[in-house]
Amino acid sequence: MFCISGNSDVCSENLCFCDFRQCLPDGGEKMMDCDIFTVIIKQNHFSPLSLSLSVHPAGQNPDHMLHGTGHKHESRKQGDDTTVAPEDAARFLSCYCSGYCPEDHKNNTCETNGQCFAIIEEDENGEAILTSGCMKYEGSHFQCKDSPRAQTRRTIECCGTDFCNRDLQPTLPPPMDTGEWQTERQQYHRDLEQDEAFIPVGESLKDLINQCQSSGSGSGLPLLVQRTIAKQIQMVRQIGKGRYGEVWLGRWRGEKVAVKVFFTREEASWFRETEIYQTVLMRHENILGFIAADIKGTGAFTQLFLITDYHENGSLYDYLRFTTLDTQSLLRLAYSAACGLCHLHTEIYGTQGKPAIAHRDLKSKNILMKKNGTCCIADLGLAVKFNSDTNEVDVPLSTRVGTRRYMAPEVLAETLNKNHFQAYIMADIYSYGLVIWEISRRCITGGIVEDHQLPYYEMVPSDPSFEDMLEVVCVKGLRPTVSNRWNGDECLRTMLKLMSECWAHNPASRLTILRVKKTLAKMVESQDIKM
């Protein structure tokens, strides 16, 4: 173990405490304002702390820091994988909160050992949105020195007295010239730096990942290798866009890869997805293959990259819009999606074990089509982890929520027990049932097939509100409608029974994904389908 660009205080074989100097631009290209902080690095891989502090470039606004405690906590003890705030950070401020309030807030008030803040940012519709709240002490020195973000149209201001952020009035920076942003984005192929891993010519991504898997770590490529790959990526063209950012087709030594570029405001999602993908024993043929993650920072803006396998057929949603299915194709898709979800949900015990994981945003747009007619689950930015040894439900700190159309009744009604991991698992099952409905509609029987539609398409608007979905799903108890032809086909009839047991109103009445997988496995075997 060693500390890259840091001074090692204590090092052992698997653990290293490092002092790092974080430098932020201060008025000029060579003028730097520096702070010292301590991080912990484990086995030269990303860990929640080392990633969130040691590799943050200047000028970022990680949303996972923009949350106060809501109430006063005892000081953290050394050794719990956190930095320890100095004594002067033990004081607590009361701040006004709007948009970043803790769940137990009263009268739009939160408390923090850090600073009060106000943020103005431009939403997807170009409207200026002002939010405010409490920022934790850790990282607040960096975040409050942030420069206005021209690319994401976002500005943050901080202050240090009670309710002082009521008077803060941050202003949006002028928009960045489109040509400038495009040029910066396409020049992601950066000059190689000294902290670069040597990757022999001729080594493919598959070779690197297989070597890593056989080495026994099971948690993905080493951090240094990931950063080296990320630096060498050549951006080709944009192939998708969503609320989190953009997806680009990239190339690494001629191999196609997908590069997910997150908006700065979505850092919490980037951080969580990176963390989940690098969970030990996470790799599975029906989970999107993770390659690398990196942060690129310049004086003007910051980019958050997640590099994965590239699937040219796009999402299941895109595929179903233009492709009809036969019975074998239907079962291949339903079964492979169930296998991926089952791997997520399953805890693997042992010293190199894997926690149980719930997706929380399962939908056809977050499932990708593979060339062999199977699919893989993607977008893990909202995932929840559970480790039975500690009995802890690890929920990401993010303001983002799932997709309303696919939300389970208990999520819409806000009755889901957030401290009970099984509740998240059962909500995933409901969403899976809706995905199976989408797939089944596209299966031809007797020369008849329905157009692809989203669940509840005829019951709610194209962009339904919580109230729309609550009325349909919970108050009226409705579920997606099916054609009479389904009852005349054995496969569709079985699929209808399966999805009905997945989207039951009572979570306890829903099937487990293992039960779904076993049922579909029998159907696949009876049809002699090759997976």
- Most confident among 166-170, 262-266, 486-490 (mean pLDDT): 486-490
Average pLDDT on 308-333 reads 96
What structural domains and CATH numbers belong to the chain? 213-309 (3.30.200.20), 314-526 (1.10.510.10)
Q: Rounded to whole angstroms, how far apart are CA atoms 377 and 369?
A: 9
Q: Report if pTM > 0.95.
A: no
The DSSP annotation for 291-321 comes to EEEEEEE-SS-EEEEEEEE--TT-BHHHHHH
Residues labelled as active-site residues: 361
Average confidence score pLDDT of the chain: 77
Assign 143 a pLDDT band (cuts: 50, 70, 90): low
Q: What is the model's pLDDT at position 242?
A: 82
Determine contact, residues 250/233, Cβ cutoff 8 Å.
yes
Assign 72 a pLDDT band (cuts: 50, 70, 90): very low
Q: What pairing do the DSSP bridges indicate for beta strands 234-241 and 15-25?
A: unpaired
Determine contact, residues 328/350, Cβ cutoff 8 Å.
no
19-57 tens-digit pLDDT: 333 444 433 333 333 333 333 333 334 333 333 333 333
Which of 458, 415, 462, 410 shows the shortest CA–CA distance to 431? 410
Q: What is the model's pLDDT at position 22?
A: 40
Q: What is the model's pLDDT at position 203?
A: 57
Average pLDDT on 280-297 reads 86
Q: Reduced to 3 DSSP states, what percent helix, strand and coil does the chain have, rounded to the nearest 5?
A: 30, 25, 45
Helices 490-502 and 513-526 meet at what angle, rounded to 10?
170
258-274 tens-digit pLDDT: 999 988 888 888 888 98
Q: What is the model's pLDDT at position 222?
A: 58
201-219 tens-digit pLDDT: 455 556 555 655 544 445 5
Determine contact, residues 17/6, Cβ cutoff 8 Å.
no
* Residue in the block written with tokens 């920022």: 135
Determine contact, residues 154/122, Cβ cutoff 8 Å.
yes
Q: Which residues lie closer than 8 Å to 180 by C-beta, 6 or more apart?
A: none
- Most confident among 156-160, 168-172, 332-336 (mean pLDDT): 332-336
Q: Which of 175-179, 295-299, 399-403 has the lowest mean pLDDT?
A: 175-179
What tokens were used for 131? 């939010």
Query: Is the pLDDT reported for residue 96 higher than 70?
Result: yes
Residue 107 or 145, more confident: 107
Q: What pairing do the DSSP bridges indicate for beta strands 128-135 and 99-100?
A: parallel
Residue 277, sorted as left (phi over 0), alpha (psi -120 to 50) or beta, turns out to be alpha
For residue 90, CA distances in Å to 142, 179, 490, 515 come to 18, 46, 66, 50
Helix (H, G, I), strand (E, B) or coil at 499: helix
Q: Is 256 annotated as a binding residue?
A: no
Assign 292 a pLDDT band (cuts: 50, 70, 90): confident
Q: Rounded to whole angstroms, how far apart are CA atoms 241 and 164?
A: 37
